[in-house]
Structure 1
Amino acid sequence: MTVSIAAVHVTVDDPDAAVAFYRDTLGFKVRKEVANDGFRWVTLTTETQPEIEIVLSHPHAGRSKADGDIVAELLAKGELGGINLRTDNLDETFAKVAAAPGAEVLQEPTDQFWGVRDAAVRDPAGNLVRIAQA
């Protein structure tokens, strides 16, 4: 039996700002955009891992109003899970991310005691994005 990662969901309050960040700043490719019930979700991939998708979706997409409101509150607080990425050039990637509209720098590139060099930012929706040197 083989199990692998197919998709990672990232909740965003502004899909256009999120696409600009993940596509234009980080270089992900938009695979599909799907509209449903007044909302849309966008899937993105990388050239090196096209089988793994990042799915950007709105807090209210596919949820009841009450549940969507709760998710939106957690998103606004920055309390939803983050995403960990890897790059072959952390300094160059960090410079792009730090200059991106809506991004908030939390940690500049740093050598961590557990052996990783990484940086941390919040995407335009407030999600934690950690980027490590490959």
Structure 2
Amino acid sequence: MCTLPVHDLDAALGFYRDVLGFQVRQDGEPDELHRVSVGPPEQPEVRIFLSPPGADPGVSPADRRAIESLMAKGLLGRLVFATDDCDATFVRVEAAGAEVLQEPIDRSDGARDCAFLDPSGNIVRFTQRREGA
């Protein structure tokens, strides 16, 4: 499990559910701080909680502003997913309108990867291990 801060829960849900094909795992109760968990359909144990920045009631206004500042710089949220075909994943996610951060490249460690930004500026990377690596 992990928590990913998002500015707009509906936009984030659209990205993770509609673009990446994740399933919605859990939705918050209306009287709670609203957050949603999503995860890949083939990995039901994986839960990524999409939540407003500093949603925990114990977070001070100053800390909430600091979190929002880090988000604005793209320094807070990062997810890395394994894929069997980096290039096909890139084509599919780019065609859905996601903001490209890095086109597929081969790395010196034998991996091939690409990266996108979600609607809140979190980095979402897809990596494929190459044969013999």
Sort the TM-score into its range (normalised by shorter chain). 0.7 to 0.9
Superposed CA offset, 1:6-58 (max 9, x none): x0211110111111111111111001111466741110122221111011111
- Scaled by the length of structure 1, the TM-score of the pair is 0.85
Aligned CA RMSD, in angstroms, stands at: 1.8
Q: How many residues align?
A: 127
Contact 1:26 1:93 in 2 (8 A): no
CA distance in structure 1 between the partners assigned to 2:93 and 2:118 by the alignment = 9
Give unpaired runs (5+ residues) of structure 1. 1-6
- Scaled by the length of structure 2, the TM-score of the pair is 0.85
CA distance in structure 1 between the partners assigned to 2:128 and 2:120 by the alignment = 24
Question: 2:44 is matched with which residue: 27, 30, 50?
Answer: 50
Please show how residues 1-134 of structure 1 align to structure 2 within 5 Å.
7-35=1-29, 39-62=33-56, 63-101=59-97, 103-133=98-128
Q: Secondary structure at the match of 1:75?
A: helix
Contact 1:10 1:55 in 2 (8 A): yes
Greater strand fraction, Structure 1 or Structure 2: 1
Q: CA deviation at 1:104?
A: 2.2
Indicate the larger mover: 28-37 or 105-114: 28-37
Residue 3 of structure 1 aligns with which residue? none
